[in-house]
Amino acid sequence: MNKTAFETFGISSEITSALTSLRYFKPTAVQEEVLPLALENQDIIVESQTGSGKTVAFGIPLCEQAEWEENKPQALILVPTRELALQVKDDLMNIGRLKRIKVTAVFGKSSFKTQKSELKQKSHIVVGTPGRVLEHLKEGTLVVDKVDSLVLDEADEMLNMGFIDQVEEVINFLPKQRQTLLFSATMSSEIDRIASFYMREDRATVRMEQSEQNTPKIVHSYIKVEEASKEKQLLDLLTIENPDASIIFCNTKDVVDSVEQYLNKAGLPIDKLHGGMDQDDRLAVLDDFRFGKIRYLVATDVAARGIDIDNVTHVVNYDVPFEKESYTHRTGRTGRAGKTGLALTMVSDKDRARWQETKDYAFDDNQELTEVFAPSERAVTRAKTAFQKKLNTRVAPKIARNKELNKDITKVYFNGGKKKKLRAVDFVGTLTSIKELSAEDIGIITIQENVTYVEIMNGKGPYVISEMQDRTVKGKTLKVRKARK
C-alpha cells in the first residue's frame, strides 16, 4: 500500500487513519514545514496567514505526543476568542479521536463550575482564552505540572486585544521545560520580545513566504460610499455580486443589528454575530452559516478571528476596521481551500484616513487593489432576477468533515453521574465485562452531575446498548440509550 503524505512523518496509525477520514489527504505548505520540527519537540515561531492549515500543524504533534494513560493536561493552547477555542477543541478531538484524546475548552462568559468539573476529569489537552485560563490557574482548578507543550495561536490577535499581560502571567505558571509553538499572521517587536523571553534560544522560525500555492486567492476592491445611503448601496452591491455565502463586517454591534435588520427586511437569508450575544446563540448561528442554512452573516470582528468556514465567497467590510491588522483577519475568511474570494471595503468620508492607513499596512506594490463604482439602478434591476432565484434556492447542505470519522462511533447516554458517585473506572469495569468488548472499544467518557456520556468505538455501540439493558454500573441500574447530542 502506498504511504500517504502524512504517514511519511512517522505519525501513528490512529492519527493517520483519522486524518484520512477527515479528508486531510496531503499536508499544506505550513504543515510540511512545521510537522517535522514539532514532532522533534522543537520550539517554533510560525508566521502564516489564516486559512493555511495551522491548527492541524500543531494539532497532530500534540495528539501524537499525548499519553492516554496520563490524566492531567499535557498541552495548553491559548487563543484570543471563545469561538476559536471551541473550534480548536473540535479539530483536535477529531484528529485524536481514534487515540481517545480528550480536549477541554475553557473561556469566559461560560460556567466556571462546569469547566472546573470537566478539568477534574481526564483532559489530555486544554484550550482556552487567556483570562479564563488564568482564573483556573489561580483557583488551582487547572493543574499544569505535566504540561510539556504550549501553543500561542493567533498571537498577534491576543496582542491587539490587550491580552498579552495575561498570556505572560499564564506562561509563568507553566513548567520551564516545555515545547513552545507560536503562530501569528503578522509579526511585531512585541511578539519578538515574547519569543526571546519565553522560548528556547535554538527556536526555529517558519515564515511562509507568500507564493501562488499558499496565498489565499482574494480579489481586493473598495468603493466610496455616502454614509446616509450606505445600507441601500450594500444591498445593491450584494444584488450585483450575488454571493453564494458572504460575511459582512461592521465595527460595532449596533451597526450589526441595524444592517442585519435592513437586509432581513429585504428578504435575505441572514443572521448576525457579535459579542453581546449568548454563547449558545453564537454557536448556533455559526453552525447555520457553516452548513448553508443562511447565506449571509453580519458580524463584528469576533467572527474574523480564526473561524474556519471554507465556502465564503465574499467578505464585505461595511466599515473600515478600527485596527488595521483586522483587515487581514477579516478578508482571510474568503479565498480558502483553493477557491477565489472577493473582499470589498465600503469607504465613507469619515473612513478615508483610516482606509489610507489600512492600505499602507495591508498592500504592497505587488498586490492589486481595485476601486469599483456604484452600479446603476438599471444594472441592479437587471440583476434582481438571478439574485432572487439564488435566494429561493436551498443551499446544498455541507457534509461535516468528521462524518466519516464518526460513523463507527456511538455516543451512549447513562442517566447517572457524579451525584451517584460514579467514576470513569466504574463504567470501564462494567463495559469491559461485556463479551467481546475491550478497553480499546471505549472512547471518551464525560461524567456530569446527573448524566454520563461514553463513546463506544468500532461500530459496537448498538451491541453495548443492548447488553447494558440488564446490567448495573457499580450496583446501580441506569437507563442506557443512544445519546441525542
How many residues make up the chain in this entry? 485
Asked if the model's pLDDT at residue 121 lies above 80, the reply is yes
Let me know: does 86 contact 126? Beta carbons within 8 Å: no
Enter the DSSP assignment of 229.
G
User: Could you report how far apart the first and last alpha carbons of the chain are, in Å?
Assistant: 37
Instruction: Report the largest interatomic distance among the alpha carbons of the chain, rounded to a whole angstrom.
Output: 76
Strand ranges for 263-420 from DSSP E: 270-273, 296-299, 314-317, 340-347, 369-371, 410-414
Tens digit of each residue's pLDDT (9 = 90 or more) over 48-64: 876 678 999 999 999 99
What pLDDT, on a 0 to 100 scale, did the predictor assign at position 213? 57
Let me know: does 127 contact 85? Beta carbons within 8 Å: yes
Going by DSSP bridges, is the β-strand pair 472-473/476-477 parallel, antiparallel, or unpaired?
antiparallel
From the options 3.30.2130.10, 3.40.50.300, 3.40.630.30, 3.20.20.150, give the CATH code of 6-207.
3.40.50.300
Q: How confident is the model at residue 216 (pLDDT cuts 50, 70, 90)?
A: low
Q: Which residue in this structure is represented by grid cell 498571537?
A: 155
Backbone angles phi, psi at 186, to 5 degrees: -135, 155
Residue ranges covered by each domain of the chain? 6-207, 217-391, 407-482
What pLDDT, on a 0 to 100 scale, did the predictor assign at position 208? 82
Provide mean pLDDT across the span 253-259.
96
* % of the chain at pLDDT higher than 90: 75
Nearest CA-CA partner of 419 in 448, 394, 445: 448
The sheet that has 103-106: what strands, in order across it? 103-106, 125-128, 75-78, 149-152, 179-184, 44-47, 204-207
Asked if the model's pLDDT at residue 237 lies above 90, the reply is yes
Backbone angles phi, psi at 150, to 5 degrees: -125, 130
The answer for residues whose C-beta is within 8 angstroms of residue 36's C-beta and 6 or more apart is 9
DSSP secondary structure, 95-160, as one string:
HTGGGT--EEEE-SSS-HHHHHHHHHS--SEEEE-HHHHHHHHHHT-S--TT--EEEE-SHHHHHH
Instruction: Give the span between the Cα atoms of 307 and 290, in whole angstroms.
Output: 10
Instruction: Give the span between the Cα atoms of 306 and 183, in whole angstroms.
Output: 12
Asked if the model's pLDDT at residue 129 lies above 80, the reply is yes
Q: What does pLDDT average to over the chain?
A: 91
Q: How confident is the model at residue 2 (pLDDT cuts 50, 70, 90)?
A: very low
From the options 1.10.3720.10, 3.90.400.10, 3.30.70.330, 3.30.70.141, give the CATH code of 407-482.
3.30.70.330
Let me know: does 44 contact 204? Beta carbons within 8 Å: yes
What pLDDT, on a 0 to 100 scale, did the predictor assign at position 430? 96
Residue 246 Cα distances to 43, 270, 293, 311, 379, angstroms: 37, 10, 13, 9, 21
Instruction: Give the span between the Cα atoms of 4 and 64, in whole angstroms.
Output: 17
Instruction: Give the span between the Cα atoms of 281 and 327, in whole angstroms.
Output: 26
What pLDDT, on a 0 to 100 scale, did the predictor assign at position 1? 38
Let me know: does 464 contact 434? Beta carbons within 8 Å: yes
Tens digit of each residue's pLDDT (9 = 90 or more) over 378-434: 999 999 999 999 988 877 777 778 888 888 899 999 999 999 999 999 999 999 999
Let me know: does 459 contact 395? Beta carbons within 8 Å: no
**Enclosing H/E stretch for 179:** strand 179-184
Residue 474 Cα distances to 92, 117, 346, 422, 463, angstroms: 32, 21, 64, 7, 20
Backbone angles phi, psi at 417, to 5 degrees: -150, -135
pTM of the predicted model, to two decimals? 0.81
CATH number given to 217-391? 3.40.50.300
Going by DSSP bridges, is the β-strand pair 246-249/103-106 parallel, antiparallel, or unpaired?
unpaired
Instruction: Give the span between the Cα atoms of 165 and 434, in whole angstroms.
Output: 52
What pLDDT, on a 0 to 100 scale, did the predictor assign at position 125? 98
Asked if the model's pLDDT at residue 282 lies above 90, the reply is no
Instruction: Give the span between the Cα atoms of 450 and 283, in whole angstroms.
Output: 24
Are 6-207 and 217-391 the same fold in CATH?
Answer: yes
Instruction: Give the span between the Cα atoms of 45 and 62, in whole angstroms.
Output: 16
What pLDDT, on a 0 to 100 scale, did the predictor assign at position 149? 98
